[in-house]
Structures are given as C-alpha cells and as structure tokens.
Amino acid sequence: MMNFTDFGLDVKLLQAITELGFEESTPIQSKSIPFAMEGKDLIGQAQTGTGKTAAFGIPLINKIPTSEERIVALIMTPTRELAIQVSEEIAKLARFKGTRSLPIYGGQDIVRQIRALKKKPQIIIGTPGRLLDHINRKTIKLDDVQTVILDEADEMLDMGFMEDIQSILKLVPDERQTMLFSATMPPNIQKLAQQFLRNPEHVSVIPKQVSAPLIDQAYIEVHERQKFEAISRLLDMESPELAIVFGRTKRRVDELSEALQKRGYSADGLHGDLSQNQRDTVMRKFRDGSIDVLVATDVAARGLDVSGVTHVVNFDLPQDPESYVHRIGRTGRAGKEGTAWSFVTPREIDHLHFIEKVTRHKIARKPLPSLAEAIEGKQRLTAERLLDIVQNEEYNEFKAISIQLLEQYDSVQLLSAAMKLLTGEKKDSVIELTPEEPIRAKRRKPDIRTSGRRPSGSYGYNRQGSGGSREGGSSYRGNREGSREGSRDGNRGGYSKGGYGSREGGYSRGEGGYRGNNSGDRKPRTGSNESRRPTKRPESSDV
C-alpha cells in the first residue's frame, strides 16, 4: 500500500484525493498508477469495488495540462449509468485542478450534449454508440486524443461493441496510451488488446482468497413460485440499508418491483427499456436512499458504486459466472462488508455448482427464513426505530397525550399497539409473477487464460471459459435481456480483507467520503441514438 503522496502527483489532484477521504492507495492503484504515469499501455484487473476508477482517473487527470483546450482523453463504458458515475468520480478528482470532463451517452438530448461540447472538455466519458453518433456528426473529434480508457472492456465486447470500439479507435492517433480495466478478463480481451494496445503492462492484483472475502455469499433453494415469498421474508428479516435485486428479464424486473411496492417495500425497477429520464430518477432515488430496494437487470451489474448497498439478491440466477461476480460485487465495496443471496430452483442446482466451480468459491446453503423469523426481524426493526427516537429525545410533543393514555391503559398494551402501527401490516395482495425458465447448466471448455504470461491462479479464479461461444445467449436471448452474457474469464483480482489493511479501517476513507453525491451532469435525457445497436444483447444501454 502506498500513500498518494508517493506518486509525485499534482498538488491540486492530491488535495482532491484527500478531500475524497482516500488515505492510502488500493493495491490496483499502487500498481497501475506508476505505469500509467510512465505512459505505458495497461491491462488492469482487480476485484469489484477496489478502486479501479481512480486507478485510471488519477494518472489521467494528472497528465492533462490545465490549459488544454482539446479533447485529449476518452473513457468508454458499457452502460449509461456507468458513464455518469465514472464522470462524477473524475469530476471529483479534477475538482481543484480544474480538468474539464463531460459524459456523453445515449438517451440524453444530443443538442444539449453538443452545447456542452463547446465548453472544451478535455476528457469525454461515453458509451460507444452515442460517441460514434457524435463522431459522425463531427461534433466530437478524436484527432488529439492521447489517452483512451476502456472500463469494463470485457463487457463492452460481450455487448457487441467490438465493431464500434474498433471504428472509434481507428480515429484516435496511434501515438496514444490505451488502458483496459475490469474485474474479469475473458480471453477475447486479448484480441482487443493485441489490436489496440502496445506492449501493455498486465497489472492484476493477486487475491489471497478466491472470492471476495468481504461478501458473505449464500444460496437458498426455492421453487420458482416461492421466490416472492422468499424475498419478502429476507427483506423483512434483514432490513437491508440498500439492496439490489437482480432479475433475469425486463418483464421480471417490472413485475417484481411492482409486487414489492404493493407489499409496502420501497422499491423501484431499472432496465434498458425505461426512458433515460426514468433511469436517472430511479438511480438518484436509490443513491439518496429514497428507495431502498433497486430491482434491476444486469444493466446494473457492472461498475455501479452505490455506498450503503448491504445486500445483493439474485432473484434469478445469472447465466454466467462473470455476471455473478459483478452482480454480487455491487456490495462489499471499498472495504465494507456485504451479503449476497441467490435463489436457486431445484433444476438450477447444477448451474450453481458450475458458478461455484468457476469462481472457486463454495456458496453456503441457507434455509428459507421462516415466517416467524421474518416477523421477528420486522419487529426488531420497529423497536430500533423507536429506540432511535427515544435516544434522540424527539418525542416531546407526544408526552402529554402519552401520560393521559397511561392513566387509562397498561404500558405494555400501549407500546404493543404503537409497535403494531409502526410495523405496518403486510398487505396480503395476491402476487403472481410470470415464471422464468430455469437456467440450464452449460458446460464450457476449459478456459484459456487472459494472458499466457500470468501464472495460473493469479486471477481470482480460473474459470472455465466458453471457448469463445458466447455463453448463455442462445436459449433465451429473446427475452432474457439484461443478462450479461459472459465474459469469459473471471477474476476477482484481488484483494483480500487484508488488502486494504484491516478491513474496516484499512480501506479507509474519511467519513465524509462518499455517498453518491453527484456533481456530474444529470439532465433529463431524451432522444436517442438508435442507429447502432449492439448485436449481442437485447438490452443495450447505450442506444
């Protein structure tokens, strides 16, 4: 671990890093920043939630002169939400230095983007489809780009963005620095790397444990028709601060989020068929805590960093182990702990074993919480809420009436009634979700490592790859949308509990650190770029 002061960074950048509460660099940052500062091309791989964004953001901002008036850097991400988020992190890091960046993605009003481009951003963060659109309109010119970063590079390939990326990179001068980052690196990344990187440094953080140590993983065997009851009980029992529930299809996400709302949970859905405006609203509500359950397709599986996500639930098992890795990686970030549950139907047990094998992590089986446990959980939560008020002495205006009531009734009676009211009764509306087909286990051929250079096991796990055929798509591509088909090689590159020092404090960031605040631009998005649609994936987040 290093201090950020060791890298010889611009003082204003250091100031921003301090302000963000980053005390020491994470392993991927310690390893990548020096290479990046030397101008080397780079393939960077490390577990979810370990600071890859800053690993490329810091050296990037460091190298751009304040006086620069051209677009000199390009960052590509697979989804719009991620473009927004990365752009926000870059903006925070660039705050004092004054580096100008701009997110550019599908679904946002293009005229507005064109206007923003006139302010001479130095860094563009975008999704490939919309970027190409601007390139074709000549509103973005890449002739002066010196640095290109592909975040979640493997996912962009899986989404069928290869051609788009190729067309874009052809327009960038050869004399440039190119960097790829992801927690998983399938073999097909090699193709991209060979084509676009020059003698890249492979930086991968070697994990002590195969799976993310901070995520407590479990599965619950349920029948398809029990899933809704199961999720209700889990939510009641654990009352997550924030939870992300992954469903396989858009229909699933719509039905489930509606059903949860009907039952009184504060939930909302996110998938690629919503308007950008709706997507933004849902994300904002989730980040500020006005909803606590985000039901989503795999559009939310990659890269999203929302602090306070304590639980991830795979309501439907993902097709690919990589998708599993990224999904559960929405919790247990930045040194915090998290819990991930997966619902597995009896016919999917084999598929679960396959995920276990590839991720080299045994997932513990847990029983479905009983109704009694769920009720107890809810009551405990109510009691906590009450005690909170007691502790903060926020009840003065109720004192008089309480005294009056206590003259007539017994205190236990009264308190019980108050708790009943507070807990709320479960609305037992009938919930019916359209069943999803079980995922069939598919055998994949043993994988080829991302790069022959690394000793085996240096990734988080050696996965069995699909040997190139894209896993999963076939059987349900049609309506399964959302599911990210697989990247091939997964890896939780890194970082064991000890990785950040001790787990809580180790990855320390000041209290005030984060909480998705969001300086970035969040405007209603309208309009779209339908001209290019990734071939592989019905849910494109870009167009």
Which residues sit at the interface with Mg ion, rule CB under 5 A?
A: 52, 303
Rank residues 90 and 259 by Cβ distance to ligand ATP and give the closer one.
Answer: 90
**Residue 33 binds ligand ATP, judged by CB under 6 A:** no
The closest of 189, 204, 191 to 487, measured between CA atoms, is 189
- Segment interacting with ligand ATP (CB under 6 A) among 19-27, 95-103, 263-271, 281-289: 19-27
Shortest CA distance to 106 belongs to which of 283, 235, 280? 280
The count of residues in the chain is: 543
Kindly tell me which of 77 and 108 has the beta carbon lying closer to ligand ATP.
77
User: Considering the complex, what minimum distance in angstroms separates the CB of residue 53 from Mg ion?
Assistant: 5
Contact criterion met (CB below 8 Å) for 343 and 367: no
Q: Is 293 in the site for ligand ATP (CB under 6 A)?
A: no
Query: What does the DSSP 8-state code read for residue 245?
Result: E
What are the residues facing 18 on neighbouring strands? Answer: none
Q: How is residue 334 written in tokens?
A: 């930045």
Only one of the segments 20-28, 206-214, 227-235, 274-282 lies at the binding site for ligand ATP (rule: CB under 6 A); that segment is 20-28
Closest to ligand ATP by CB, 25 vs 87, is 25
Binding mask 408-447 for ligand ATP (x = CB under 6 A): ----------------------------------------
Residue 305 within binding range of ligand ATP, rule CB under 6 A = yes
Nearer to ligand ATP, 89 or 447 (CB): 89
The answer to the question of residue 334 lying near ligand ATP (CB under 6 A) is yes
Among Mg ion, ligand ATP, none, what does residue 245 contact (CB within 5–8 Å per kind)? none
Maximal C-alpha separation, the chain? 84
Given candidates 303, 321, 465, 538, which one binds ligand ATP under the rule CB under 6 A? Answer: 303
- CA torsion angle for 30, 489, 246, 78 (degrees, to 10)? 70
According to the binding rule CB under 6 A, does residue 50 interact with ligand ATP? yes
Judged by CB under 6 A, does residue 327 bind ligand ATP?
A: no
Q: How far apart are CB 52 and Mg ion at their closest, in Å?
A: 5
> Residue 25 binds what, of ligand ATP, Mg ion, none (CB under 5 to 8 Å, by partner type)?
ligand ATP
CB–CB of 148/195 below 8 Å? no
Which parts of 263-292 fold into alpha helices (H)? 276-287
49 binds, among Mg ion, ligand ATP, none (CB under 5 to 8 A by kind): ligand ATP
Least spacing, CB of residue 182 vs Mg ion, in Å? 8
Does position 323 interact with ligand ATP (CB under 6 A)? The reply is: no
d(CA 56, CA 180): 9
Residue 221 backbone dihedrals phi, psi, to 5 degrees: -85, 120
Measured from the CB atom, is 289 or 527 closer to ligand ATP? 289
54, 94, 312, 433: which one binds ligand ATP (CB under 6 A)? 54
Decide whether 128 or 329 has the Cβ nearer to ligand ATP: 329
Query: Least CB distance from residue 216 to ligand ATP, whole Å?
Result: 17
Query: 10 Å Cβ neighbour count for 504?
Result: 13
- Its sign, for the CA torsion 284, 287, 289, 292, is positive
**Does residue 153 interact with ligand ATP by CB under 6 A?**
no
Interface with ligand ATP includes 227 (CB under 6 A)? no
Nearest to residue 107, comparing CAs of 129, 138, 122, 125? 129
Task: Give me the residue label for tokens 């469903």.
Answer: 247
What 110-113 contacts at long range (C-beta under 8 Å, 24+ apart), as own/partner pairs, is 110/134, 110/527, 110/529, 111/527, 112/523, 113/139
How many chain residues interact with ligand ATP (CB under 6 A)?
21
22 binds ligand ATP (CB under 6 A): yes
Residue 85 to residue 282: CA distance in whole angstroms: 14
Residue carrying structure tokens 């009896």: 346
Tell the smallest beta-carbon distance from residue 236 to ligand ATP (Å).
28
**Smallest distance from the beta carbon of 385 to ligand ATP, in angstroms?**
28
With CB under 5 to 8 Å by kind, the binding choice for 507 among ligand ATP, Mg ion, none is ligand ATP
Contacts of ligand ATP in 172-191 (CB under 6 A): 183
Q: With DSSP H G I counted as helix, E B as strand and the rest as coil, what are the percentages for the chain, rounded to 5?
A: 40, 15, 45
Q: For ligand ATP, what does the binding mask look like between residues 347 and 366, x meaning CB under 6 A?
A: --------------------
Residue closer to ligand ATP by CB (options 77, 188) is 77
Return d(Cα 140, Cα 125) in angstroms, integer.
12
Rounded (5°) CA angle 255-257-258: 65
Tell me if 509 contacts ligand ATP by CB under 6 A: yes
DSSP assignment letter at 366: -
Distance CA 18, CA 509 (A): 9
Question: For residues 153 and 231, which CB has a smaller minimum distance to Mg ion in the complex?
Answer: 153
Distance between CA atoms of residues 166 and 90, nearest Å: 24
Shortest distance in whole angstroms from residue 345 CB to ligand ATP: 27
* Nearest distance in Å: CB 328, ligand ATP: 10
Which residues neighbour 274 within 8 Å (Cβ) at sequence distance 6 or greater? 282
**What is the binding site for ligand ATP (CB under 6 A)?**
22, 25-26, 29, 46, 48-54, 183, 303, 305, 329, 333-334, 507, 509, 514
